[in-house]
Amino acid sequence: MSNPAITSPAPPPRRIREVARDLGLDPEEILPHGHYIAKIPVAELDARANQPDGRLILVSAMTPTPQGEGKTTATIGLADALRRLGHRAMFCLREPSLGPYFGIKGGGTGGGRAQVIPAEDINLHFVGDMYSVEKANNLLCAMLDNHLQHGNELGIDPRRIVMRRVIDFNERSLRDIVIGLGGPLNGVPRRDGFNITPASEVMAILCLARDYRDLGERMARIVVGFTYKGAPIRADAVQAPGAMQVLLRDAIHPNLVQSLEGTPAFVHGGPFANIAQGTNTSIATRLALKLADYVVTEAGFATDLGAEKFFHIKCRAAGLTPATAVIVATVKAIAYHGGFKEIGGLGNLAKHIENIRLFGLDPVVCVSHFPDDNPNDYARIVRFCARQGVEAVVSKHFDQGGQGAIDLARAVVRAATRRRRRALRFLYPLDAPIRKKLEVIATKVYGADGVNFDRAALNHIETLDQHGFNTLPVCVAKTPLSLSDRADLRGRPGGFSITVNELRLSAGAGFVVAVCGNIVTMPGLPKVPAAARIRMLPSGQATGLT
């Protein structure tokens, strides 16, 4: 399915000083990067500490098709619509990664009338935050290997180093490599590998840090490896966090941009949605809540991955309390997951409604409009949601921008204002055993019968318990294409268990990653990558950018 091309011209973008002025920010309070991008100093958050927070709206989705269901366009369109209704609104997104952009997925700035601009700049180098994360990560790796070279006084076991270098490209040949070859002057030979930059723990830390101090403390807690005796070695042991913090000095400031309609937006941070929490920075979200009455944000994938991590990891760390959540659904996703059956596509949607309710929120369902959909299918989805006690709205934000999402915005305002401000309902306490946390998520959120643990996973749990890491929240890495850990189990599967293969510690970020299945942290390129279509014209204009 595809929407028709947008033929009428978009209004000219507003200068970033004007966008900032709408938020109550004076020109001297922003750090412009040209005419249409600015960084907002993190100090502005402290300056507004006594101001009340606006209402936070989370955008999630039902289990997607491989192409995704359009959470980003729904996020942008909803914020545009709220602004059209007279509310002071803005939205918060993650920064796109060059890997997917030049690979197969394309950009992360929305589409049609629901876009964030300047799209080309945001999708490419933007303000250099990705490079700052990459350099800070790789500096830690260099200092770690330098310690091995100069005597290894800490007794680090080269076979048990878990810190990996990163680069913001899809490059499968870097997944598993050997470094330090060429003799004694060229380092200590050992097995190593690269992750893509959004999978870096440094990125996860940047997105959860509360301020400069917290950023430094979290980076000091990064576990880079283990000694021959099995003791964890942290980043501060190789004296890296100070320099890492300096490299991230500017990256910590949120990036202010706008939608096609001029709605203010923070696009800041970009952690992977499976190996990490998959949302924009906590600093950007918290600052947005001080600047706007309604803040719309999204979490990667569906409620079983993105929303669950948003609640248990980000909201816990940042003290956030969403007012409501939007679940994006499409006719094609209903069909993909088995059609209009209680155990098929409608059953899948019903489970995601249940998941949001588990945390104490009443969701709104956004049915994204496509011109080749059957209107009767929209009516069936709306009626089904009504039977679940949930309001569902067909939204035309892709074609019409904010005007096409007015009904959705009104439904969201109704849901948000109905809910009195109260704490989220977390599904597990932090002092619960790691196995128990995983069993709660699997049975309550996925609908599984239970959890199986491979021998390696049990050994990892024992190590985590031994060194006091068992009080961290868990971050499950599994397929986004199913409520289970098998991509072929569509709809609302039953009678399944998930299998945890290993656990990876992200002590600085503050969570433990539970890997279920073959999760790749360095993607590869397709046979014909998107990069093959990109050209530069003699005028300097680029073509082929998606």
CB 318 within 8 A of CB 208: yes
Whole-prediction pTM: 0.95
CATH 3.40.50.1820 fits 131-247, yes or no: no
Pick the CATH number of 434-515 from 3.40.1710.10, 1.10.3720.10, 3.40.50.360, 3.10.410.10: 3.10.410.10
- What band does 421 get if pLDDT is binned at 50, 70 and 90? low
Q: What's the rounded Cα separation, in Å, for the pair 408 and 401?
A: 12
Segment 274-315, tens digit of pLDDT = 788 999 999 999 999 999 999 999 998 999 999 999 999 999
pLDDT score of 422 more than 80: no
pLDDT score of 2 more than 70: no
Residues of the chain with CATH 3.10.410.10: 434-515
Segment 64-75, tens digit of pLDDT = 998 778 999 999
- What band does 1 get if pLDDT is binned at 50, 70 and 90? very low
pLDDT score of 3 more than 60: no
pLDDT score of 420 more than 80: no
Compare 102 and 354 and report the one with higher pLDDT. Answer: 354
Residue 172: the pLDDT is 94
What is the average pLDDT across 230-238? 97
Helix (H) or strand (E) holding 208: helix 201-208
Q: What's the rounded Cα separation, in Å, for the pair 74 and 368?
A: 8
Name the token pair of 472: 């961290």
What is the average pLDDT across 10-29? 92
- What band does 105 get if pLDDT is binned at 50, 70 and 90? low
DSSP bridge partners of 165: 194
Whether a cis peptide bond, with omega within 30° of 0, leads into 118 is: yes
Segment 22-32, tens digit of pLDDT = 999 999 899 99
Residues of the chain with CATH 3.30.1510.10: 131-247
Segment 467-524, tens digit of pLDDT = 999 999 999 999 999 999 999 999 999 999 999 999 999 999 999 999 998 888 999 9
What is the average pLDDT across 30-59? 96
Residue 341: the pLDDT is 84
Percent of the chain with pLDDT over 90: 85
Residue 275: the pLDDT is 85
Whether a cis peptide bond, with omega within 30° of 0, leads into 158 is: no
What is the gyration radius of the CA atoms in the chain, in angstroms?
Answer: 23
Residues 6 or more apart whose CB falls under 8 angstroms from that of 157 comprise: 225, 226, 227, 228
- What band does 545 get if pLDDT is binned at 50, 70 and 90? confident
Residues of the chain with CATH 3.40.50.300: 16-128+251-418
What is the average pLDDT across 222-245? 97
Residue 452: the pLDDT is 97
Residue 5: the pLDDT is 41
What is the average pLDDT across 233-251? 97
CB 271 within 8 A of CB 207: yes
pLDDT score of 107 more than 90: no
Residue 274: the pLDDT is 79
pLDDT score of 43 more than 70: yes
Residue 7: the pLDDT is 46
Segment 190-205, tens digit of pLDDT = 999 999 999 999 999 9
Sheet strands (E) in 391-432: 392-395
CB 268 within 8 A of CB 280: yes
Residue 531: the pLDDT is 86
CB 32 within 8 A of CB 40: no
CB 359 within 8 A of CB 445: no
| Mean model confidence pLDDT for the chain | 94
CATH class of segment(s) 16-128+251-418: alpha beta
